[in-house]
Amino acid sequence: MHFFRSKAVRVAFFFFYFCLAVTPCFGLSEAGLSPSQIEDSTRADDLSATSPVSEDYSVDGLSAKASDGGSPLLGDRCSLGLTASGNSGSVRYKFVWEQGGWSRWGTIRQLGPEASCDWVPEVAGDVNILVDAVDSAGNVRTWRFPVRVDACRLSVSGGDTLEWSGGMKVDISAAAAPGAKIKFLWERGSWSKWGVIQAASESAACTWTPPSSGSYTLYADVTVGGLTSTSRLPVRISEDYSVDGLSAKASDGGSPLLGDRCSLGLTASGNSGSVRYKFVWEQGGWSRWGTIRQLGPEASCDWVPEVAGDVNILVDAVDSAGNVRTWRFPVRVERNLSNFTSIDLKSDSSNLCVGDTLSITPRITIR
């Protein structure tokens, strides 16, 4: 402390302190950069942080059309077209198809800028189209689109549900690749019945005469460019009908009589034009029965009742396909001797003797 009491020492110390205060501190400057350089550097960092170079896009859909504008066909030149949104101007695309989990596959087109290309399908059925999209930085994104390829597009005039009529003709057409050969067939009952409608040819239309009503499957075997496949179309031909009633009339127009020729007549509705009928009677739970008429197209027949009382008339109805339906109708058969009151006796002689001829006439009521 005595050291600072000297005036000379105090002056020297003050001078030293003053020099420290006014001298620039170069060792503390920021990386040796001028203020303007620091400002520029900061501005550059800010621009980089807030304005990145973006290339956001999306592939939203794929259209697949055959040369006729319909759905893709085997061996036909099909047009594929992508729908993209966002910043897709620099994106390139590669098209690949696969089927059955890559059991079959092929490259449709290598990487290119166009979002569309042509494709000739080599297989029929469900196919996946895979699109690799590569942006300007080389980033790859893949989209998968399911596509259905048909051997041909089968159609039937009037639709795939038709009403049966005897001798009916059905027009069939098939849209296939140009130059394709097509064979038309039909089957029903898991091929228990089948037939060739038209042999293989370049004709894409034919006419079919179904043998009966029922559920069918139509087939078109298609061969084009060394490729072969089959298209199928289920078709139902209905024959809906009903037997609604039975009339039973004796020869006098009344209710049936024992031993009298009776007329039976059915009332049918719906599509019954090809139905055939068999008539049977039974009584007492089939203790007595008989066939009135075998199978035939007429909905009426004659019957001479062999029993009196309550009788059931059973009608087997068989449609064009051989399907059998049975209806049961109760009928009451009356005895024609409905009231036996007395008898009249008449002889040629007024005195009856043994051996004389006697005429006996019953007094009965016959309807």
Going across the sheet that includes 241-249, the strands are 241-249, 262-270, 300-303
Q: Which domains does the chain have, with CATH numbers?
A: 58-148 (2.60.40.10), 153-238 (2.60.40.10), 241-335 (2.60.40.10), 339-367 (no CATH)
For the chain, state the CA radius of gyration: 51
List the structure tokens of 2: 């005595």
- Nearest residue to 216 (alpha-carbon basis) of 198, 203, 199, 197: 197
Quote the CA–CA distance of 341 and 263 in Å, as a whole number. Answer: 30
HEC readout, 71-136: CCECCCCEEEEEEEEECCCCCEEEEEEEECCCCEEEEEEEEECCCEEEECCCCCEEEEEEEEEECC
Q: Which residues have a Cβ under 8 Å from the Cβ of 33 and sit 6 or more positions away? A: 41
Summarised one tens digit per residue, pLDDT across range 164-194 is: 999 999 999 999 999 999 999 999 999 999 9
CB contact at 8 A, 171 and 132: no
- Nearest residue to 278 (alpha-carbon basis) of 289, 200, 112, 261: 289
What pTM does this model have?
A: 0.73
Q: Give the model's pLDDT for residue 18.
A: 41
Q: Give the model's pLDDT for residue 312.
A: 99
Q: Give the model's pLDDT for residue 52.
A: 52
> Residue 240: pLDDT above 50?
yes
> Residue 44: pLDDT above 70?
no
Identify the residue with better confidence: 40 or 253: 253
In this prediction, residue 340 has a pLDDT band, given cuts at 50, 70 and 90, of: low
**Overall residue count recorded for the chain in this entry:** 367
Quote the CA–CA distance of 367 and 361 in Å, as a whole number. Answer: 17
Rounded (5°) CA angle 295-297-303: 60
Element (H, E) at 10: helix 7-22
Summarised one tens digit per residue, pLDDT across range 295-330 is: 999 999 999 999 999 999 999 999 999 999 999 999
Q: Which residues have a Cβ under 8 Å from the Cβ of 74 and sit 6 or more positions away? A: 121, 122, 123, 124, 149, 150, 151, 152, 176, 177, 180, 222, 224, 227, 229
Per DSSP, the residues of 250-313 read -TTSSS-BTTS-EEEEEEEEES-TT-EEEEEEEETTTTEEEEEEEEES-SEEEE--SS-EEEEE
Q: Which residues have a Cβ under 8 Å from the Cβ of 325 and sit 6 or more positions away? A: 243, 316, 317, 319
Residues pairing with 278 in the sheet: 316
